[in-house]
Structure 1
Amino acid sequence: MRATIHVSAAVVVSDDARTLVVRKRGARVFQQPGGKPDPGEDALAAVVREVAEETGIVAAPGDFVPLGRFTDAAANEPGHEVVADAFLLRVGPAEATASGEIEELRWLTEDDVPDTPLANLSRNHLIRFAWR
């Protein structure tokens, strides 16, 4: 059995139908903003904090819509699986800034997805929620 990593992740969608993905320092693939909850922190509190830390987008907990829990092979930890509590966050004219452990961020259209290197969890489960 593979080791499990629990995270919270946000599918951030701008009002012009683009979705935000981030690439962590040292990673080769992009994924939704998010990360591991701190001790005692629930999934919603973690995603609110992580989105603000990684992108500078500050949103209230009530702005996040739960999407469910998804599991796939971890992108940056070989031999691990990631279990993500995922949320949808719609934002207006979006401005984001890569900060903390984020080396690069991109706003993607649906047409950009096939040519963008994405983590398994993003490609197989989360990215589709941006255009529903």
Structure 2
Amino acid sequence: MPNTLRIAAALLIAPQGRTLLVRKRGTVAFMQPGGKIDAGESPVEALVRELHEELGLRIDPAQAIHLGQFSAPAANEPGYQVQAELFRVDSAEAVTPAAEIEEVVWLAADQAPAFELAPLTRDLILPLYRQAVSVPR
């Protein structure tokens, strides 16, 4: 597949059921934390590394539940698709934006975000998240 970015992404869920979205410096769209999978790295290794670099979060790879592979147009690289290995990570740890992360926001399942979302987040991951926490409407 040409012009594909392979990433590992976390559907990070706090004890009260909210999920974390991040925005990279110089961009407008919010998305799941995570990042590109380096050569020779497994998706879960990339996830553990990225969560630590971006948020100061240390997770046990065994806690990351693989939810599947999802593809969508890349938010910040025109003409590219992202192919994300998505993992659910339940964490009560505090997060601190670091590296290229400029802003973090916790979103509740019943909350309509008033900001721009990456296509992958908007079209695939948030619907999955809302289903996973199955908030009664």
Deviation at 1:2, TM superposition (A): 5.5
Query: Matched residues in 2 for 1:95 and 1:130: separation?
Result: 20
Matched, 1:13 2:38: no
Query: Matched residues in 2 for 1:113 and 1:89: separation?
Result: 22
Structure 2: gaps of 5 or more residues:
133-137
Matched, 1:123 2:115: no
SS at match of 2:37: coil
Match of 1:106 in 2: 105
Match of 1:39 in 2: 39
Matched, 1:65 2:41: no
Aligned length: 131
Percent identity, aligned pairs only?
41
Query: Matched residues in 2 for 1:61 and 1:113: separation?
Result: 31
Deviation at 1:117, TM superposition (A): 1.4
SS at match of 2:111: helix
Do the aligned residues in 2 keep the contact of 1:56 with 1:98 (CA within 8 Å)?
A: yes
Query: Matched residues in 1 for 2:72 and 2:60: separation?
Result: 28
Do the aligned residues in 2 keep the contact of 1:18 with 1:130 (CA within 8 Å)?
A: no
Q: Compare the two structures and name the one with the higher strand fraction.
A: 1
Match of 1:28 in 2: 28
Query: Matched residues in 2 for 1:119 and 1:10: separation?
Result: 14
Deviations along 1:28-59, whole A, 9 cap, x unmatched?
01000000112210101001111111111111
Report the residue type matching 1:125 in the other structure: L
Do the aligned residues in 1 keep the contact of 2:107 with 2:113 (CA within 8 Å)?
A: no
The root-mean-square deviation of aligned C-alpha atoms, in Å, is 1.4
Match of 1:48 in 2: 48
TM-score by length of 1: 0.93
TM-score by length of 2: 0.89
Do the aligned residues in 2 keep the contact of 1:12 with 1:130 (CA within 8 Å)?
A: no
SS at match of 1:97: coil
Which stretch of the first structure deviates more once superposed, 1-10 or 77-86? 1-10
Query: Matched residues in 1 for 2:23 and 2:9: separation?
Result: 13
Deviation at 1:62, TM superposition (A): 0.3
Deviations along 1:55-108, whole A, 9 cap, x unmatched?
11111000100000000000000111110000000112x411100010111111
Query: Matched residues in 2 for 1:57 and 1:68: separation?
Result: 22
